[in-house]
């Protein structure tokens, strides 16, 4: 099939590359000329395991192209995927300007039947808005061309995006059109060989499914963080509690790790956007509000623990920070707990020496050069002259540590572990003061 993808970010790039990899012909179009130039040079602007070689192979095979030329891209594909950003507006609702702009572009240039597939995460009712924009744009041209709009939300997670796209549990398609059903079946057939993954439903249900999935996962995280905070006050160990409840198959182990709050480009904005949808229809979404409030409070906890460890005297202190990305295996720092921590430390006159296996460049792009931020190229370089160590992201490379070396190197033996990576006894027996999440040893 010939497929056009609008947006070459995490979702667009992975979707385009994976669809090319199973034999479709794909054109990815983006308004960011620099991104397209880099992609055409063979550079991948994001870090996603396995993506670089897959892009290279499919470009070489002539199945994957990158362009800024929207007009030719509209002519190219029968399927026109919209995979552009839907960032939060000031009130927390999803800003649809990029999505609707793409709809307008498609309407302006299309000359034959197209299926417009919305892959961006968008509030319920957006497919209708995309339909309206297309209709209006075609009318303004005096063109009478048939088209369909469908919803096909994406469930991939950064860091395992290719695996998720190719082996995901389900492919949700919201449509009431038989032609769309056939087209989407053909598009996803290579991923649908062993058992039926395609789930067809109406567009509104498909749009809501995406928000419901993210809100559920965010709820699990905020729930365990609430329990973890209770455990701190009650002298219990949230890690034991996690094992205890996870063993119940009705609960399971996924997404119940006590930590320093969720970040990233999806959970915070999607929980907010769903809450805003609720407000707009006059429904008080009490659980969603609580999920967000718990998370905002959780993201301040690393700073609070440090602040208390140093008797509120952080001025002039140097803090080693491991992990800038909002989670492992990505360079994405959007809404990362590390940012909340660094910004609070800087406000109080402390300096940060940070290491992340992939996100240093992104950190430099966000914060620029500053005297109170050193980005180390090796994990242990951050410890030189540091007063304390804080762990924000559970990268595998942080799991094994020589605690004696840590104790000898840090000026004060303070370790704040936002991801509960270590056995408290091992850390403490090296003479370190260890503050983890919900482990009965809170300050």
In the complex, the smallest distance separating the C-beta of residue 386 from ligand NAD, rounded to whole angstroms, is: 32
For 320, phi then psi, to 5°, come to -80, 130
Q: Do the annotations mark residue 159 as ligand-binding?
A: no
Q: Residue written as tokens 């602040």? A: 307
Q: Residue written as tokens 């000031």? A: 90
The residue from 20, 24, 35, 376 that contacts ligand NAD (CB under 6 A) is 35
Q: Which stretch binds ligand NAD (CB under 6 A): 94-102, 132-140, 279-287, 297-305?
A: 94-102
Q: Do the annotations mark residue 223 as ligand-binding?
A: no
Residues whose CB is less than 8 angstroms from the CB of residue 255 and which lie 6 or more positions away in sequence, other chains included: 217, 220, 221, 224
In the complex, the smallest distance separating the C-beta of residue 154 from ligand NAD, rounded to whole angstroms, is: 4
Binding to ligand NAD by CB under 6 A, coded x per residue (else -) over 178-207, reads ------------------------------
For 375, phi then psi, to 5°, come to -105, 110
6 lies in the binding site for ligand NAD (CB under 6 A): yes
Q: Do the annotations mark residue 255 as ligand-binding?
A: yes
Q: Residue written as tokens 């385009």? A: 16
What is the side-by-side strand order in the sheet with 79-82?
A: 64-67, 25-29, 2-6, 79-82, 114-118, 147-151, 171-174, 198-201
Contact of 273 with 88, CB cutoff 8 Å: yes
- Whole-angstrom CA distances from 32 to 28, 317, 383 are 12, 40, 38
Q: Do the annotations mark residue 114 as ligand-binding?
A: no
Select which of 28, 150, 260, 266 is catalytic: 266
Q: Residue written as tokens 């000329």? A: 33
123 lies in the binding site for ligand NAD (CB under 6 A): no
What is the side-by-side strand order in the sheet with 351-355?
A: 373-375, 351-355, 318-322, 388-391, 414-417, 433-435
Q: Do the annotations mark residue 210 as ligand-binding?
A: yes
Which residue's CB is nearer to ligand NAD, number 217 or number 414?
A: 217
Contact of 305 with 340, CB cutoff 8 Å: no
The residue from 25, 32, 52, 57 that contacts ligand NAD (CB under 6 A) is 32
Which residue's CB is nearer to ligand NAD, number 48 or number 340?
A: 48
In the complex, the smallest distance separating the C-beta of residue 246 from ligand NAD, rounded to whole angstroms, is: 24
16 lies in the binding site for ligand NAD (CB under 6 A): no
How far from chain centre, in Å, is Cα 86?
A: 13
Give the separation between CA 27 and CA 67, rounded to whole angstroms: 7
The residue from 265, 295, 329, 382 that contacts ligand NAD (CB under 6 A) is 265
Q: Which stretch binds ligand NAD (CB under 6 A): 30-38, 197-205, 253-261, 397-405?
A: 30-38
- Three-class HEC string of 125-145: CHHHHHHHHHHHHHHHHCCCC
Give the separation between CA 150 and CA 176, rounded to whole angstroms: 8
Which residue's CB is nearer to ligand NAD, number 217 or number 266?
A: 266
98 lies in the binding site for ligand NAD (CB under 6 A): yes
The residue from 31, 78, 160, 236 that contacts ligand NAD (CB under 6 A) is 31
Q: How many residues bind ligand NAD (CB under 6 A)?
A: 27
Give the separation between CA 349 and CA 340, rounded to whole angstroms: 15
Query: Catalytic annotation on 392?
Result: no
Give the separation between CA 266 and CA 273, rounded to whole angstroms: 10
In the complex, the smallest distance separating the C-beta of residue 263 from ligand NAD, rounded to whole angstroms, is: 12
In the complex, the smallest distance separating the C-beta of residue 121 from ligand NAD, rounded to whole angstroms, is: 4
327 lies in the binding site for ligand NAD (CB under 6 A): no
Which residue's CB is nearer to ligand NAD, number 393 or number 420?
A: 393
In the complex, the smallest distance separating the C-beta of residue 283 from ligand NAD, rounded to whole angstroms, is: 22
Binding to ligand NAD by CB under 6 A, coded x per residue (else -) over 266-305, reads x---------------------------------------
Which residue's CB is nearer to ligand NAD, number 273 or number 321?
A: 273
5 lies in the binding site for ligand NAD (CB under 6 A): no
Q: Do the annotations mark residue 299 as ligand-binding?
A: no
The annotation places the binding site at: 30, 35, 86, 121, 155-158, 210, 255-259, 263, 269, 327, 334
Binding site for ligand NAD (CB under 6 A): 6-12, 29-32, 35, 83-86, 98, 101-102, 120-121, 154, 156-158, 265-266
The residues that are catalytic are: 266
């Amino acid at each position: 099939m010939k497929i056009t993808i609008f947006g070459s970010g995490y979702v667009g790039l992975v979707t385009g590359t994976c669809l090319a990899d199973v034999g479709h012909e794909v054109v990815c179009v983006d308004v960011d000329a620099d991104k397209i130039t880099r992609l055409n040079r063979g550079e991948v602007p994001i870090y996603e395991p396995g993506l670089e070689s897959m892009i290279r192979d499919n470009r070489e095979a002539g199945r994957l192209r990158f362009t800024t030329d929207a007009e030719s891209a509209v002519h190219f594909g029968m399927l026109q995927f919209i995979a552009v950003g839907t960032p939060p507006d000031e009130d927390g609702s999803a800003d649809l300007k990029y999505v609707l702009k793409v709809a307008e572009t498609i309407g302006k240039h299309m000359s034959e039947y197209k299926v417009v597939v919305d892959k961006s995460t968008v509030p319920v009712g957006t497919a209708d808005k995309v339909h309206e924009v297309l209709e209006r744009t075609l009318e303004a041209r005096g063109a009478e061309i048939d088209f369909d709009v469908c919803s096909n939300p994406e469930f991939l997670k950064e860091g395992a995006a290719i695996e998720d796209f190719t082996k995901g549990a389900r492919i949700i398609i919201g449509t009431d059109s038989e032609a769309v059903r056939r087209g989407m079946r053909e598009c996803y057939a290579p991923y649908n060989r062993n058992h039926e993954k395609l789930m067809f439903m109406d567009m509104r249900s498909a749009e809501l499914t995406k928000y419901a999935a993210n809100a559920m996962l965010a709820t699990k995280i905020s729930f365990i963080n609430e329990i973890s905070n209770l455990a701190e006050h009650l002298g219990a160990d949230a890690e034991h509690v996690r094992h205890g409840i996870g063993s119940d198959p009705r609960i399971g182990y996924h997404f119940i790790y006590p930590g320093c709050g969720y970040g990233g480009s999806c959970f915070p904005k999607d929980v907010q956007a769903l809450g805003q949808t609720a407000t707009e229809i006059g429904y008080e979404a009490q659980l969603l509000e609580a999920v967000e409030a718990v998370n905002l409070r959780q993201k301040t906890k690393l700073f609070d623990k440090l602040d208390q460890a140093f008797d509120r005297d952080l001025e002039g202190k140097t803090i080693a920070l491991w992990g800038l990305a909002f989670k492992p295996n990505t360079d994405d720092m959007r809404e990362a707990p590390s940012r909340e921590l660094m910004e609070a430390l800087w406000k109080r006159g402390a300096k940060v020496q940070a290491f992340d296996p992939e996100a240093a460049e992104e950190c430099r792009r966000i914060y620029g050069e500053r005297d109170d931020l050193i980005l180390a190229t090796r994990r242990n370089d951050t410890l030189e002259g540091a007063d304390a160590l804080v762990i924000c992201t559970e990268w595998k490379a942080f799991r094994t540590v020589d605690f004696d070396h840590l104790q000898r190197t840090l000026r004060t033996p303070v370790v704040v572990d936002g991801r509960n990576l270590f056995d408290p006894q091992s850390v403490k027996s090296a003479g370190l003061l260890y503050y983890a999440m919900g482990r009965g040893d809170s300050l």
